[in-house]
Amino acid sequence: MAEQFSLKLDTPAYKGTVSINTGLFINGQWLKSVEPEKLECCPDMVYTATGRIITSVEGGCSKDIDIAVDVAEKAYKTSWGLKVPGSTRGQMLLNLANLIEKNADEFAALEALNCGKPFSKAQREIAGCIEEFKYYAGWADKIHGKTIETTENKMAYTRHEPYGVVAAIIPWNVAMTMLSWKLAPALAAGNTIILKPSELTPLSALKFASLVNEAGIPPGVINIVNGTGSAVGEAMAYHPRIRKLAFTGSTLTGRKIQEASAKSNLKAITLELGGKSPNIIFDDANLEQTIKWASLGIFANMGQACCAGSRIFVQEGIYDEFIKGFAATAHHLQQNTGDPFSGKTLHGPQISSVQFDRIMGYINSGKTDGAHVLSGGERDGNEGYFIKPTIFTEVKPSMKIAQEEIFGPVGVVMKFKTEEEVIEMANNTTYGLACGIFTENVSRAIRVAHALDAGTAWINTYFTIETMVPFGGYKQSGTGREQGEYALENYTQVKAVHINIGLKL
């Protein structure tokens, strides 16, 4: 049996005990790894506001993945998949949603504790996770094929069938959001699943695992295996009996997963990868609202978001006014930086010392290359992994800070003159995840949205992701779509059935 971890919290934002099992959740049971002595162990869980260790969790290995695949296959054939009506699967997803809602504040506390995000922001993330499970609970009995007219002597129809055993690898920045984005549509479609949470932030996923049996989900349908990418993620990517894998993370790792699929069983792959998203602000934009949205676009979740609006293009007519207001929002966040559980904090720490150092490396690169630090640009305090919200101006498009994904609270602002010029600048990147356009001219807004290489275009808003609207990238930002009805396409295969009702040879 794996160990139990409990911690009593008495903070302004949350008073109560958080409790999880630190083991591997396989076949409805808490287990230790079968080969612990061979593990490249998971790192200790750290409270990023202080850098102090919270606990450690069990790390899995390739043989644990073999076991998880075995039980997932058995569950798919005997107690899930097409043997279970969609309405029944939907009810179980609804049960999960209700249980998460019942434990919502504990989930938020775990996210704040493990990820460092302000508790109030974590609460919103958990609310979105609940909505996700409820949404796909409604889809579970509505995954239909089509009847296709051919001739009077023949008919055909299609079936949308699950893959069977699928896998998911999720990142650390929005752990519960990504868990729900992967699990909810996969389960609604009738698949069984093996999930690897990030080795940095597995706590909320393990809390979720403790609700699976209570929700009535049969053993083996949901399996959660902690571990590193090299020990667990690689085993998933190469496994010959995992039929489909969904990954959210870096473009470099996405390439490796795609390669592993090609070298193993050609499993279906969906990838949601990096971004360097442009946020374009025209002269006629509502300046007050635009400044607020642009601030959210780059500083939300301490800049740790794949679709962050990190390249901010401002038309010359309002450039000076914009940067003055934008700097004020960064200063306000800095004044409200601190403990995620304070109840007033708006800006928390970065996820780890490694990420902290990486972001500071980019900031130093910007300074060296001659960009101007309008605000921030340095560590905040002496404890934990805090970085001041940072804005660079006088940035050239060729600079490293304007080309590479920083994944931190660092925005680069560039001036432009014409619509044609800014479209070319915005598309000059290997990424294509999202973009923002701020203008009161509707025709221009739609025209520019259509011209940009991005899977999501926000007009006069930013970061407003909706459960029913697809999300995914162009170019090296990934393949496939999550959210909405489109996500179900990732977890089903289309079978065409031909029936002879009168054809003669």
Tell me which residues are annotated as active site.
272
Which long-range contacts does 419-423 make (Cβ < 8 Å, 24+ apart)?
419/282, 419/444, 419/447, 419/448, 422/278, 422/280, 422/313, 422/315, 422/448, 423/448, 423/451, 423/452
CA–CA separation, 491 and 89 (whole Å):
15
The 3 state secondary structure assigned to 233-277 is HHHHHHCCCCCEEEEECCHHHHHHHHHHHHHCCCCEEEEECCCCC
* Beta carbons of 184 and 246 less than 8 angstroms apart: no
Buried (b) or exposed (e) across 115-154, using 16+ Cβ within 10 A?
bbbbbebbbebbebbbbbbbbbbebbeebebeeeeeeeee
* Beta carbons of 21 and 206 less than 8 angstroms apart: yes
Q: 3-class SS at 221?
A: coil
* Beta carbons of 496 and 158 less than 8 angstroms apart: yes
Per the structure block, which two tokens stand in for 90?
Answer: 């939907």
**Of 141, 115, 77, which is closest to residue 305 (Cα–Cα)?**
115
CA–CA separation, 247 and 230 (whole Å):
14
The alpha helices in 103-213, defined as continuous H runs, are 104-115, 119-139, 175-188, 203-212
**Of 131, 142, 232, which is closest to residue 190 (Cα–Cα)?**
142
CA–CA separation, 60 and 365 (whole Å):
38
Q: Which sign, positive or negative, has the C-alpha torsion 275, 276, 282, 286?
A: positive
* Beta carbons of 223 and 191 less than 8 angstroms apart: no
Beta-bridge partner residues of 411:
391
CA–CA separation, 182 and 92 (whole Å):
16
Instruction: Tell the burial category of 265 from Cβ atoms under 10 Å away from its Cβ (0-12, 13-18, 19+).
Output: middle
CA–CA separation, 77 and 438 (whole Å):
51
Q: Write down the number of H helices and E strands in the chain.
A: 14, 24
CA–CA separation, 392 and 266 (whole Å):
44
Q: Give the alpha-carbon dihedral of 458, 276, 117, 32, to 10 degrees.
A: 120
Which helix or strand (DSSP H or E) is residue 64 part of? helix 62-78
